[in-house]
Amino acid sequence: MKPVPDAVVLVTGASSGIGLATAVAAARAGFTAVAGVRDPAGATALRETGIDVRKLDVTDAASVAACVEGVVATHGRLDALVNNAGVASAAFTLELSSIDAVRASLEVNFFGVLTMTRAALPHLRAARGRLITVGSVRGVIGQPFNEAYSAAKFAVEGYLEGLAPTLAQLGVAVSVVEPAAVLDTSFVASSPLDPAALLAGAGPYEAAFRAYRGFVAGGAVEGAQTAAEVAAVILAALADPAPPFRIPTSAYAAAYLARKLSDVDGGGVQDLTRSWLT
Ligand SMILES: NC(=O)c1ccc[n+]([C@@H]2O[C@H](COP(=O)([O-])OP(=O)(O)OC[C@H]3O[C@@H](n4cnc5c(N)ncnc54)[C@H](OP(=O)(O)O)[C@@H]3O)[C@@H](O)[C@H]2O)c1
């Protein structure tokens, strides 16, 4: 996809972090960038850059429909959707969490992606455009004490890996961008979890949780990137004439995925599943 003003890119969760960096980078590259945010009144920085800011809650079907249809009404088309909105693990080890907390994670991290994608697809097909979704290395390797988050991101991977060969036949490229840690975002600060309270109620999992907290504090930021670095990978995927299905955002993320996958970019699976459709 060429970065020209008549190519319209909608980024969800663009109020902060990777989404904000992606919307700004897309606008600077020459796309018409549309930023979906839950609170447009707080999006002054985006507005100052001339980006079209739209109200969007990905868990609200009416909000999703109004945003997507509004973008097409204003700009005449939608060439790319960047599903970026996401929330940190809303649940501790799931045995000790409420099912409602788990559902809340899946509402944003999986059903939000699904709802946005369904609304955008008619327009992406018309444009022979792009569907790019921010997954996570935790959507390939399950992370202790992040079970709900990993479950949601695994669901995203499965959904999009299944959809990709079908959409490829219709000219829409599907990619999942997979960062490891990204530190300069609101991701951890926005998490509803209180580690001290969790530790107090951890019961048989206390020792494991203490060790995990130590691991996170001591080394889990290895290979960390900035939001701008991840945004640059998303922009490269938008411009790539044939982007891979799975796009680790760094050499560190690629090596992490390779611990589990022999088909890191998903090309082998896409070759196989595309062959079933011809
Ligand atoms: N940070 C990391 O280490 C990391 C690593 C791998 C993958 N990721 C993924 O990267 C993506 C972006 O995260 P980030 O690190 O940039 O965190 P972030 O700064 O917290 O950004 C998350 C964005 O999602 C939005 N959001 C949350 N719930 C929403 C909803 N119901 N509807 C619409 N928007 C909603 C937030 O909006 P509000 O401002 O309104 O809350 C915010 O704009 C997520 O999908 C995350 O899973 C992050």
Query: Residue 19 in 3-state DSSP?
Result: helix
Among the listed residues 149, 205, 212, 256, the single catalytic one is: 149
- Specify the pLDDT at position 213: 86
pLDDT of residue 218: 67
Q: Could you tell which of 53, 185, 188 is best to mutate to test the pocket of ligand 1, judged by most ligand atoms within 8 Å of the CB?
A: 185
With a 6 Å cutoff on the Cβ, whether 192 touches ligand 1 is: no
Give buried/exposed letters for 216-236 (b at 16+ CB in 10 A, else e). Answer: eeeeeeebebebebbbbbbbe
Say how many Å lie between the CA of residue 186 and the centre of ligand 1.
7
User: What does the pLDDT read at residue 207?
Assistant: 95
Q: Is 176 touching ligand 1 by the criterion CB < 6 Å?
A: no
Residues 6+ away with beta carbon under 8 Å from 205: 93, 96
Q: Give the model confidence (pLDDT) of 34-50 as tens digits.
A: 999 999 999 998 999 99
Q: Is the CB of 33 under 6 A from ligand 1?
A: no
87 lines ligand 1 (CB under 6 A): yes
Rounded-to-integer distance, Cα 79 and Cα 276, Å: 27
Helix axis angle for 61-75 and 112-127, nearest 10°, is 20
Residue 90 Rama label (left phi>0; alpha psi -120 to 50; beta): alpha
Please choose from 87, 109, 178, 246 the residue to mutate so as to test ligand 1's pocket, defined by most ligand atoms within 8 A of CB. 87
Instruction: Please provide residue 124's backbone torsions phi and psi, each rounded to the nearest 5 degrees.
Output: -65, -40
> What's residue 219's pLDDT?
57
| Count of CB atoms situated within 10 Å of the CB of 76 | 11
Mean pLDDT of the residues in the chain: 94
CA–CA gap between residue 174 and residue 81 (Å, rounded)? 10
What average pLDDT score do residues 169-192 get? Answer: 93
- 3-state DSSP of 206-267: HHHHHHHHHHHHHCCCCCCECHHHHHHHHHHHHHCCCCCCEEECCHHHHHHHHCCCCCCCCH
149 is catalytic: yes
pTM over 0.85: yes
* C-alpha dihedral (57, 37, 119, 241), degrees to nearest 10: -140
pLDDT of residue 92: 78
